[in-house]
Chain A
Amino acid sequence: MNNECHSMEPLIYLYRNGELSPPEKRTILNHTATCSHCREILSQLHDFDLTLQPLREEQPLLSPASQSIINETMSRILHANTSVTRVSGTEEVIERFAIWLKPAIGITLTALSILFTVQQSVDVRKVSRMEENINLRTITLQRANAKEQLNIRSFGSERLLNKEAINGYLPHFEASIPVPFLMSGLSDLFQHDTGLLEELAKKYPDIATITLDDGLDEREKQILSTEGNALLKDIEQLIHQGEQKQ
């Protein structure tokens, strides 16, 4: 089989009527006139064609088993209760849309629920952390207050209520601790009735106007240097009186 035979092969196998164009038929005829190999192939193919001819003329016959095709098919159709009612074009579009819409809605709702739950848990954690921080700060503040109260008591019991001690003591106060703390500290220190403090407050009204939040301005320093000094002296006297009575 030479190269020309190889190129002819696709045409040789399309030997039946209507498969080749007239020019292609002429090409094959010309080639097979001189090539015995391809002529033999063509001859065998024609032989096969003749052999198959009776099959083409056979009328379709059904065996007894295949007779039941009709009954079984109709039974399946009726059993399935398939409706032939055709929907309108719009309804069909809506139906097709609905087919994927339902799962899409389901998935979206599920995703939103998950996101909500996650966000809630994140918020809860944030809130609890904030609460913890607040509690910690409150405790710290309370401890600081208690410590300061302790300092004042010990400070007072050692009779270190002099000008320098108070000036040295003042920085112990945090800037946020207001004057009422000083008054309550003095109350504890002297264990007097509120009458004494009221008298002292009346006697030294300017001291009550001093605030420690923003430090001491010139006016406040002036008040402390005058009324404050006087208050110290009064307290010294009271302490001295109290010792003598004992």
Chain B
Amino acid sequence: MMLSVSDIQDRKIPELIHRSLEGDHHAFRSLLELEHKYAYFLAIRILRDEHSACDVVQEAFIRVWNNLDRYKPEIKFTTWLYKIVVNLCYDKIKMETRRRKIFGSLDALREKEAEDIADGNDPGLAIDRRELCDRIIAAAEDLPPMERIVFHLRDIMDMTVSEVAEVVGISEPSVKANLCYARKRIRNVVIAMQKEPL
């Protein structure tokens, strides 16, 4: 039977974790090589900044190394890793949001304006798919931290609602509530952008 890459990884990871716990730096390096791409992918999707994403991934693996004895084998390693990455991204986004709130108080007004415009929506406007994608991602960057993370994990990383709840550490109803708010905000902003005069 042919094993998939993820199957191979699933078998190798417990062994690498066990050897890392015994102080084997080479084993930990192998673990890092296997998993860092996915951690980086998640971080860059949420943060949209390469430098910040690199910082987050480094910090995440330092925490994995320092807390490896607390890892419970019944949880998937990637889920545990993503939890750490998401928490670090969340902290960065909160800092970013705080900075923006200090320097720009127009977000609430823009949001209201976008909602008003979207309510009078015009289904006739067409838009290039790539451009729409960019606008959705740009609109997602203005979301509150939790909504932004939930949106990225569900709608970009395609995790299930229960996986998102596990990684973020909130209940499934909370995930759904944040999804609802996030999608509504994004829709309002994108529709408003579409109606802006050229």
Contacts and interface: CB of A to CB of B under 8 A. Distances in A.
Nearest to A11: B180
Contacts, number: 113
A55 B119 contact: no
Given A45-B187, A70-B33, A19 B161 contact: yes
Given A13-B179, A82-B65, A69 B133 contact: no
Given A52-B156, A66-B50, A76-B62, A84 B22 contact: yes
A40 interface: yes
Interface stretch (A56-64, A168-176, A211-219): A56-64
B187 A62 contact: no
A85 B50 contact: no
B40 A56 contact: no
Secondary structure of the B contact surface, majority rule: helix
A1 B191 CA distance: 17
Contacts of B53: 66
Interface in A95-121: none
A65 B37 CA distance: 13
Interface residues of B, number: 51
Nearest to B186: A48
B46 to A, nearest CB: 13
Nearest to B45: A55
A66 B25 contact: no
B9 interface: no
Interface string A155-178: 000000000000000000000000
B174 interface: no
Nearest to A84: B23
A48 B193 CA distance: 14
A60 B37 contact: yes
B160 A69 contact: no
B41 interface: yes
B146 interface: no
A111 to B, nearest CB: 36
A51 B23 contact: no
A147 to B, nearest CB: 86
A78 interface: yes
B133 A51 contact: yes
Contacts of B65: 77, 82, 84
Contacts of B184: 9, 13
B117 interface: no
A18 B160 contact: yes
A44 interface: yes
Nearest to A39: B123
Nearest to B33: A70
Contacts of B99: none
Nearest to B179: A14
A16 B183 CA distance: 11
9 contacts: A19-B179, A48-B183, A48-B190, A52-B136, A60-B41, A62-B40, A73-B62, A74-B28, A86-B21
Interface of A: 1, 9-10, 13-14, 16, 18-19, 40-41, 43-45, 47-52, 54-56, 60-63, 65-66, 68-70, 72-74, 76-78, 80, 82-86
